Amino acid sequence: MTHLLILFFVTFSAAFMATVPPGLLNMNAAKTSVEKGKNNGIIFSLGVSTMIMTQAYLAVLISKFLFNNPEIIDLLMKIALGIFAFLAVYFFVMAKKIKPNKIRIVKMSKKNSFFKGMLLAALNLLTIPYYSGLNVMWNASGWIKFQAWDIATFILAAGSGTFTVLYLYTFYFNKLELKTKNFSKNSNYVISVLMVILLIITIIRLFYRDHG
């Protein structure tokens, strides 16, 4: 039971930090709330979170398949290494280039908010490799096993972490908007550092696998 709590906390935190920087999803959640009402903003956020949970599940299946085939575990670790390195550089560069430009907003009707949320979330191609990489790390750390409760906890935490950020954007956008630039820059730096830490852990794991 304890490992499930740890798994939920670390996955929730990873999902939360990945969603914090102002971008297409959270800014559209805020815009929907302003123009169509907070309830509609929540519906949009639920659509996004539903897709994130679906992508997290796919990430688990990919990780499970690869772990059940030991000959390609090293390949998976090297892929994760590349992903974390790319994300570390990406978020660092994004932090350096933060400008007070407006984020693109997608118009939507209230009826379609849920599905628009799912569609926009599906367009984020980094989500599945991101959660696959996390799944590899959590598995190596003993925080997750390929069992029903562990998988359900991982998926729920990914969706909850994402929804929490979107909820905050939906209800507190007017306050956050005043601090968007510094908020975004600092968040990107934090995520970049997190990716570096995961990168180091992956390198260590690869080293011990090669010399174990």
Element (H or E) spanning 122, and its range? helix 113-122
Q: What is the largest CA-CA distance in the chain?
A: 58
With a CB cutoff of 8 Å and minimum separation 6, the contacts of 197 are none
Is the pLDDT at 49 greater than 90, yes or no?
yes
Q: What is the mean pLDDT of the chain?
A: 78
Residue 205's pLDDT is what?
A: 67
- Proportion of the chain above pLDDT 90, given as a percent: 22
Tell me the CB-side half-sphere exposure of residue 20, using CA atoms within 13 A: 22
Each residue of 54-81: pLDDT tens digit? 999 999 998 888 777 766 666 766 776 7
Rounded distance between C-alpha atoms, residue 23 and residue 121, angstroms: 11
Q: Greater confidence, 209 or 26?
A: 26
Q: Greater confidence, 183 or 33?
A: 33
Residue 39's pLDDT is what?
A: 86
Residue 185's pLDDT is what?
A: 58
With a CB cutoff of 8 Å and minimum separation 6, the contacts of 150 are 3, 4, 7, 144
Each residue of 128-154: pLDDT tens digit? 888 887 887 787 767 788 889 999 999
Is the pLDDT at 175 greater than 90, yes or no?
no
Residue 137's pLDDT is what?
A: 75
Rounded distance between C-alpha atoms, residue 203 and residue 81, angstroms: 7
Is the pLDDT at 101 greater than 60, yes or no?
no
Whole-prediction pTM: 0.68
CA distances from 56 to 31, 59, 131, 154, 201 (A): 26, 5, 6, 8, 21
> Mean pLDDT across the stretch 110-134?
83
Element (H or E) spanning 161, and its range? helix 148-177
